[in-house]
Amino acid sequence: MKQIVVLAMILFGAYGCTTVPSVDRDSEQGVLSLSFEPDDERGVMYLYRDRESHFGMHFLDIYIGDHTVETSAACFVRIELAPGDYLVEADHPDMFGFEDEMMFEAQPGTVAFFEYKPIARLVVPGSTKIIERSKQATIDKIQEQNLCVSPVKRLGAANPQ
């Protein structure tokens, strides 16, 4: 009996009630995300975490101006941004992890593609990288790894940094 209770606790701890927020590929948001098309009024940023990424069991935040976007491993998200300049900062689960940041200019009718890559290391602190990718490389990775589609994020004006 003890073994069953311990096993149940381990399974609940590992899987718990956590679900990855995603949309069906055939839904309105799924079709929009998979179109990889620009928006006439907003800048569009695609961000993905591939299946080989470290910290696969962690949700990680990325900070875009005054906004926080939660990312899931093995998923991608379409982020639509009001025109402006945004400071984009990557989170890292380690207390002393190095966190990448960059400036991003959202312009109507443009689409940019990035990989969000958390890196774990032994002994030295890990890091996160925000790596610019081409449209085709991003589409290939999403299709090849069958990454899940996160809900579209529509963000208002940024607080310029």
Please give the Cα distance from 80 to 102 (Å, whole number): 17
pLDDT at position 101 is 82
So what's the pLDDT on residue 161?
Answer: 44
Predicted confidence at residue 97, as pLDDT, reads 56
Cα gap 38→27, rounded to integer Å: 18
pLDDT of the residue at 103? 94
Select from 3.40.50.10330, 1.20.1090.10, 2.60.40.10, 3.30.450.40 the CATH code of 22-155. Answer: 2.60.40.10
pTM score, whole prediction: 0.76
pLDDT of residue 92: 63
State residue 19's pLDDT score.
Answer: 63
List the pLDDT tens digit at each of the 161 positions of the chain.
Answer: 666 544 444 544 444 444 666 777 888 888 888 899 999 999 999 999 876 665 556 677 888 888 988 887 788 999 999 999 999 988 766 566 566 788 999 999 999 999 988 776 667 666 778 889 999 999 999 899 998 898 888 888 654 44
Kindly give, in sequence order, each residue whose CB lies less than 8 Å from that of residue 77, ignoring residues fewer than 6 positions away.
33, 46, 47, 48, 69, 71, 150, 151, 152, 153
The candidate with the shortest Cα–Cα distance to 68, out of 155, 159, 161, is 155
